[in-house]
Amino acid sequence: KALIKKLPSNIADLEYNVADHLAGPLQDKERYPDGWADVFLDFRQWQLVGENHIGIVEYQKRYGGKAGMSANIVLPSISIGRVGDRNSGRRGLPLITQEVIVSNPEDARRIARLHVKKQPNFTPLFYNSIISTTDNPEWQQ
């Protein structure tokens, strides 16, 4: 946990932090008194056994309120992008960030129509391929 806390963060000084406005374990200070690091390590247990989807459902049931499994939730994440040319640059340093899991059908339709940019978590492995592009204009071509 101490190592995680030393990573650079892109959420530390946000003017608008989505985790303050959407459901999810990051708002549960009683269960996760150390905040981001505690939630990350809790969710990491699901990731290590390839059951991210089950962990997400558990969080949606616990924190999604009336929306349940249609609730959009926020989870902690560590992103590793590329430095330099996105097709051949070296891996960047890990960065503390957040991931919004969009499960509300109307929100998902609206976002998919307006914003096709992918999450950069695949770029270290797949560079700028069809599965991992973070370049909207290139994707739209």
For residue 11, pLDDT over 80 is answered with: yes
Q: Is the pTM of this model over 0.85?
A: no
Q: Is the pLDDT of residue 38 over 90?
A: yes
Task: Say how far apart CA 90 and CA 83 lie, in whole Å.
Answer: 5
Strand 95-101 relative to strand 82-83, pairing:
unpaired
Name residue, tokens 């949606």. 60
With cut-offs at 50, 70 and 90, classify the pLDDT of residue 14.
Answer: confident
pLDDT at 4: 77
pLDDT over threshold 70, residue 68 = yes
Please, what's the largest Cα pairwise distance for the chain? 48
- By the 10 Å C-beta count (0-12 exposed, 13-18 middle, 19+ buried), 74 is classed as buried
Per-residue pLDDT tens over the stretch 92-123: 778 888 999 999 999 999 987 776 666 665 55
- What pLDDT is recorded for position 69? 93
| 13 pLDDT higher than 70 | yes
Tokens 């069809």 belong to: 130
Of residues 96 and 16, which shows the higher confidence score?
A: 16
- From first CA to last CA, the distance across the chain in angstroms is 43
Helix (H, G, I), strand (E, B) or coil at 103: coil
DSSP letter at 69 equals G
